[in-house]
């Protein structure tokens, strides 16, 4: 197996890729472990994922890698959002942080 691209993706996207890989045939040991983990941990459907991405894209400062990070962690509080972005070069405003939390809460219902 070779690395084709080095982009960051969400767990939902990774699960879809692994499902497609499983349909192609035998998986390596590492791929099986990864797929089993994603099967247990990813609770969101592809449609829910697409809707969530669309909502988060409305926040102009969020790049695709930040959106993937937010979706993977699904933060419940403003403090959790701040913790996700502590080491990033992006400075989110309080309104943007609150908006992220509100969007996530809609999708956790």
Q: Where are the domains of the chain?
A: 11-41, 46-107
- Residues 94 and 13: their CA atoms lie apart, in Å, by 29
pLDDT in tens, the chain (109 residues): 566 677 788 899 999 999 999 999 889 999 999 999 999 999 888 899 999 999 999 999 999 999 999 999 999 999 999 999 988 887 899 999 999 999 999 988 7
Residue 2: predicted pLDDT: 66
Output the pLDDT for position 6.
Answer: 75
Q: How far is CA 109 from CA 10, 14, 20, 36, in A?
A: 20, 23, 28, 25
Predicted TM-score (pTM) of the model is 0.78
């Amino acid at each position: 197996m070779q690395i084709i691209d080095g982009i960051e993706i969400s767990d939902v996207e990774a699960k879809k890729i692994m499902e497609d890989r499983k349909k192609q045939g035998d998986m390596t040991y590492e791929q099986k472990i990864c797929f089993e983990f994603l099967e247990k941990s990813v609770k969101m459907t592809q449609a829910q994922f697409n809707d969530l991405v669309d909502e988060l894209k409305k926040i102009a400062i969020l790049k695709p890698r930040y959106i993937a990070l937010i979706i993977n962690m699904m933060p419940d509080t403003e403090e959790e959002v701040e913790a996700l972005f502590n080491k990033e070069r992006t400075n989110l405003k309080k309104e943007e942080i609150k908006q992220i939390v509100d969007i996530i809460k809609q999708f956790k219902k």
